[in-house]
Amino acid sequence: MNEMKLSPIGIVHSNYSRKTKHDYLDRVAIEAKIEIYHEFVDGLFKLEKFNELWILFWFTEIDEQERQTLRVHPRRNPDNPERGVFSTRSPARPNPIGLTKVKLLKIEKNILTVKGLDAFDNTLILDIKEV
Amino acid sequence: MNEMKLSPIGIVHSNYSRKTKHDYLDRVAIEAKIEIYHEFVDGLFKLEKFNELWILFWFTEIDEQERQTLRVHPRRNPDNPERGVFSTRSPARPNPIGLTKVKLLKIEKNILTVKGLDAFDNTLILDIKEV
């Protein structure tokens, strides 16, 4: 079997970061840019026809130890009863892949402008899929 | 940065395979079992309360060369106009991760019975998420 290794196809440019997080509770309102690396630009062919897309990204801030996490209090709120990570969206999980549906506002060359991407600035993008 | 390496959390047991594919055109009808490896079972805590889940899996059949694919005819049908892979669900893509919403029918110990999983028998599971 091939090793399961990922390569980023692009990177997020956003005002949304660990620091500004609390200003963006309405994550649907977040606008961000996704820069697609030049070698993957051909994969954007005809993408402008789509209004909504799935974005898969890597939770860059999760380290090896946090990948051992199997139970969490959802939204890091101790009042929320503990659950296994597989019934949550917690970033701390064995394979720290994030999944968000975004609205595509614009494509200019290799830059996508999207709405609703709750990934921090500098997050690495793994994939974009048809909804 | 940490290397972006994945570890499977489980494996699919299904009658759906490359061979039987054409018998299963109604993929919503497919029933399959997901075996979660023992070291990850604690991540299933309280999962039985959920009816629908996202399943992320690795397209095991895609080799290094197919990961170079950036344009496809959707559903491998030459009559479908070519598109960039990022506006499709094609398995041949730079990071060959599959994404499917399933109905959770049953959990017994480390075995989930699900409906609608269009992943072949023996597919490696990467993640399960709240819908």
Give the pLDDT confidence of B7-63 residue by residue, as tens digits. 999 999 998 888 777 665 666 788 999 999 999 999 999 999 999 999 999 999 999
Is B68 a member of any domain? no
Residue A1 has pLDDT above 60, yes or no: no
Kindly report the pTM of this predicted structure: 0.95
Is B74 a member of any domain? no
Give the pLDDT confidence of A38-88 residue by residue, as tens digits. 999 999 999 999 999 999 999 999 999 999 999 999 888 899 999 999 999
- Domain limits for position B23: 10-59+96-130
Give the model's pLDDT for residue A131.
96
Using the beta-carbon criterion (under 8 Å), do A95 and B6 form an inter-chain contact? yes
User: How far apart are alpha carbons A43 and A45 in whole angstroms?
Assistant: 6
Strand partners, A13: A33
Inter-chain CB pairs, A–B, below 8 Å:
150
Using the beta-carbon criterion (under 8 Å), do B71 and A42 form an inter-chain contact? yes
Give the pLDDT confidence of A91-128 residue by residue, as tens digits. 999 999 999 999 999 999 999 999 999 999 999 999 99
Q: Which of B45, B42, B32 is nearest to B9 (CA)?
A: B42
Residue B18's CATH number: 2.40.30.70
**Residue A57 DSSP SS3:** strand
